[in-house]
Copies of this chain bind each other. A is one copy, B any other.
């Protein structure tokens, strides 16, 4: 088997890619724009040119065994990207087969959160762990579920949509068109939403009142919370409580050894981790109490998405 793989992290704006060895070292990386390519063929062509140059510069031409891709709405089973709201290509794109044709290398794709879970299992906090749940807390909330040492894709490749578990019936309107999804409360966007709600409904003074209401971000809430702003601390407590309650239900499903957290919101550290842990333990069925670890991703954040995708490259290479 060849000794290197490529991981590609496709986002709505940029696509980052890197060459990775079997120990999870990113030997070289680069990126191209995603959203400037209205044609999928042009996008793949630019990707091919940039990636081929990167591989050649490392003297690794012919040494790449597989390519793994993490992308929005990517289906592991079919290799297609379907109706991705944040990508320029509408409808059904047979991405894996187009890539294989261009590169002549086996390609596997899955969504970003599944890629993160595989990355964590291959190189990170979940090495050797057969049952865990990966939760990504970013602009949205994603998840990847591993049971019996395998990622759960489900019947149609869409398993692990835990950001869209309804936690508050008739709650906040979600981008998916339904109401009360976990994501509407616990994504970075959800935290900013909570901030606006708290500021409107409560009289308390807060550093956040210095920022125009519609411009408040989760980063602002964090900045205020770490200098002791009470309202901002409460926003994280509220967010953590909803996450902890949801985690207690997830645990009743698959009884994981650990829940691994990743993404921007985890930078808040104990401000969010403590309320999560508290609400999780309070809501757990007795048989699970005190047994499930809550851990942070051990992947270097700058490389995590590439690493996650690259882990799937090893699977493609087999």
Contacts and interface: CB of A to CB of B under 8 A. Distances in A.
A96 interface: no
A160 B253 contact: yes
Interface in A231-258: 245, 248-250, 252-257
Given A159-B254, A254-B154, A166 B131 contact: no
Contact of A245 (B161, B166, B257, B283): B166
A156 to B, nearest CB: 6
A285 interface: yes
Contact of A253 (B130, B150, B253, B286): B253
B148 A130 contact: no
Interface in A141-171: 145, 147-148, 150, 152-162, 164-166, 169
Nearest to A165: B249
Contacts of A165: 249, 252-253
Nearest to A291: B156
Interface residues of A, number: 40
A256 B161 contact: no
Contacts of A166: 245, 248-249, 283
A178 interface: yes
A160 B248 CA distance: 12
Contacts of A256: 154-155
A287 interface: yes
A255 B130 CA distance: 19
Chain B CB count within 10 A is highest, among A153, A249, A250, for A249
Given A147-B147, A245-B169, A158 B288 contact: yes
B147 A159 contact: yes
Contacts of A104: none
Chain B CB count within 10 A is highest, among A159, A164, A253, A257, for A253
A162 B285 contact: no
A102 to B, nearest CB: 28
Interface in A244-292: 245, 248-250, 252-257, 283, 285-288, 291
10 contacts: A147-B152, A154-B256, A159-B254, A164-B285, A166-B245, A166-B248, A176-B285, A176-B286, A177-B286, A250-B253
